[in-house]
Amino acid sequence: MDIVSKDNSEYLIIRKNNKYEVVIGLEVHAQVLSESKLFSSSSTKFGAEPNTQVSLVDSAFPGMLPVINEFCIKQAIKTGIGLNAKINKKSIFDRKNYFYPDLPQGYQISQYKNPIVGEGSVFLDLPSGEKKVGIERLHLEQDAGKSIHDVDPQNTLVDLNRSGVALMEIVSKPDLRSLEEVNAYIKKIRSIMRYLETCDGNMQEGSLRADVNVSVRKKGEKKLGTRCEIKNVNSIKFMQMAIDYEANRQVDVLEEGGKIDQETRLFDTKKNETRSMRSKEDAHDYRYFPDPDLLPLELTDDFINNLKNNIPELPDEKKKRFIEKFKLSAYEANILVSDIETSKYFEEVIKNSDVKISTNWITGELFALLNEKNLEITESPISAKHLSKLINLIKDGTISGKIAKSVFEIMAEGDKDPQKIIEEKGLKQESDPKELEKIVDKVVNENQDKVKEYKSGKEKLFGFFVGQIMKVSGGKANPQLVNKILKEKLK
């Protein structure tokens, strides 16, 4: 089979003596988080009955006119700011003309030559380090409706609930070079938009999809190869599968002396392959022209600055702060900031608790628990408040780390207060030296033969004594104190 180097820094396709580099660019379609559509007041709520969220404008009745939704404009600008991008003070809405039953107007209102957001960049946090990826542009456009082919055997049904919903198309430069980078890029864009609350990033509900541009070239070559565009891929896993298939396909074509045709392809998730949808010659002529129903969108500096001033702390800044203020490692900071809800949870916990222990517990026990139960952090069975309490109980020596794990397990069943669990189950750590001495004496007395062996040099037996003491105490003995007392007794 194909030899693919999947080390993080280099993703190469190797055939005989040739090494091919894969060049990837993404066009992410992100649904604007907004109550109403881009040009009408219809609701955008997901999962409603078909055709219940459709206005006369969305269904393109004669004489109906689009009126821009200011909130969606703000969301696009905020996202642009989050992508460190230039906000264009003048942008134009164009009509992209084509016929399709789920496109009621016979054109999609989009932005062609003058998008609302220009060039920008994002930083990817890769195991090999940070990588800057260029953003070409972000523009606003309407979503189409949905054609349903599998309900009625004779007819295609159309649901216009999505028709007119605002999308942001975020176009990257062809800066991505590996599947790992694609993953990191999508996650970063998603993370930024979730921080900004401009897109919920929900890929299952179609709030985030991407068209993937793939080309290959021999390693070392400067010129880009001919690209193919894979349309409408709706999960990171499928994107990676599609890219891997497509890059290998292109390499095979080149290796056999062929050339790549610029074309649009579809990814078949069942067969795990891409198929040609239409060639460049068959490409639609969309006859773009400025929509005469909408004036050019002109933004004032005040309008933009007002949004700029209200941008929350974004993942990169937050990461920097976590590293500087809390002395976290870059790795830890990355994990904690990548999702805004995780970072909120973390900051809630450390408000009253030790940072180091909190970090370990969140990235260790809590993540494992969420992973096992397949839950988002917002659905965590353990609240930040109670986890903070648990950590304080460890810190002040009320319970040992080991006991804490059992308490954590009980907490996971229904967000119980760790203090109460400890009281009910009598799990409080024994830290009274007199009580501990009694236990130590008991264990030492009962194992005189082992004491002799220890004293004759078999120091490994120290662990045996500790184990016995813990057993007798039911795990509640304070380990530091036990160590201290035991050492005295064995002198």
Residue type, 318: K
Please identify which residue in 16, 70, 99, 448 interacts with another protein, judged by CB under 8 A: 99
Smallest distance, Å, CB 107 to another protein? 6
Distance of CA 65 to CAs 56, 57, 221, 365, Å? Answer: 9, 6, 50, 55
Please identify which residue in 48, 89, 101, 351 interacts with another protein, judged by CB under 8 A: 101
Smallest distance, Å, CB 384 to another protein? 45
Six-digit token pair at 84? Answer: 């460190």
Taking Cα atoms as reference points, which of 366, 33, 11, 58 lies closest to residue 177? 11
Smallest distance, Å, CB 312 to another protein? 31
Asked if residue 433 binds another protein (CB under 8 A), the reply is no
Which one, 70 or 256, has the nearer CB to another protein? Answer: 70
Asked if residue 287 binds another protein (CB under 8 A), the reply is yes
Applying CB under 8 A, which part among 23-31, 285-293, 303-311, 450-458 lies near another protein?
A: 285-293
Asked if residue 279 binds another protein (CB under 8 A), the reply is no
Smallest distance, Å, CB 316 to another protein? 37
Taking Cα atoms as reference points, which of 308, 332, 307 lies closest to residue 319? 332
Asked if residue 293 binds another protein (CB under 8 A), the reply is yes
Which one, 96 or 386, has the nearer CB to another protein? Answer: 96
Asked if residue 280 binds another protein (CB under 8 A), the reply is no
Which one, 165 or 335, has the nearer CB to another protein? Answer: 165
Six-digit token pair at 376? Answer: 């988002």
Q: How many of the other CB atoms lie within 10 Å of CB of 103? A: 21
Asked if residue 292 binds another protein (CB under 8 A), the reply is yes
Cα three-residue angle 31-36-42, rounded to 5 degrees: 120
Fill in the DSSP letter of residue 364. Answer: I
Smallest distance, Å, CB 66 to another protein? 7
Going by DSSP bridges, is the β-strand pair 273-279/263-268 parallel, antiparallel, or unpaired? antiparallel
Asked if residue 105 binds another protein (CB under 8 A), the reply is yes
Please identify which residue in 28, 38, 82, 107 interacts with another protein, judged by CB under 8 A: 107
Asked if residue 97 binds another protein (CB under 8 A), the reply is yes
Asked if residue 60 binds another protein (CB under 8 A), the reply is yes
Element (H, E) at 483: helix 479-489
* DSSP-derived secondary structure for 44-69: --TTPPTTSS--TTTTT-TT------
CA distance 462 to 465: 5
Within 67-86, which residues bind another protein (CB under 8 A)?
Answer: 67-68
Please identify which residue in 106, 397, 401, 433 interacts with another protein, judged by CB under 8 A: 106
Asked if residue 95 binds another protein (CB under 8 A), the reply is yes
The residue with tokens 């973390």 is 346
Within 135-194, which residues bind another protein (CB under 8 A)?
Answer: 156, 158
Six-digit token pair at 171? Answer: 């176009």
Going by DSSP bridges, is the β-strand pair 228-233/263-268 parallel, antiparallel, or unpaired? parallel
Q: How many of the other CB atoms lie within 10 Å of CB of 401? A: 11
Which one, 109 or 427, has the nearer CB to another protein? Answer: 109
Residue type, 289: F
Distance of CA 105 to CAs 61, 143, 160, 465, Å? Answer: 8, 12, 12, 82
Asked if residue 63 binds another protein (CB under 8 A), the reply is yes
Residue type, 215: S
Smallest distance, Å, CB 184 to another protein? 36
Asked if residue 262 binds another protein (CB under 8 A), the reply is no
Residues composing the chain:
491
Residue type, 25: G
Element (H, E) at 134: strand 129-142
Asked if residue 277 binds another protein (CB under 8 A), the reply is no
Applying CB under 8 A, which part among 99-107, 192-200, 299-307, 374-382 lies near another protein?
A: 99-107
Which one, 218 or 280, has the nearer CB to another protein? Answer: 280
Q: Which residues bind another protein (CB under 8 A)?
A: 56, 59-68, 95, 97, 99, 101, 104-107, 156, 158, 285, 287-289, 292-295
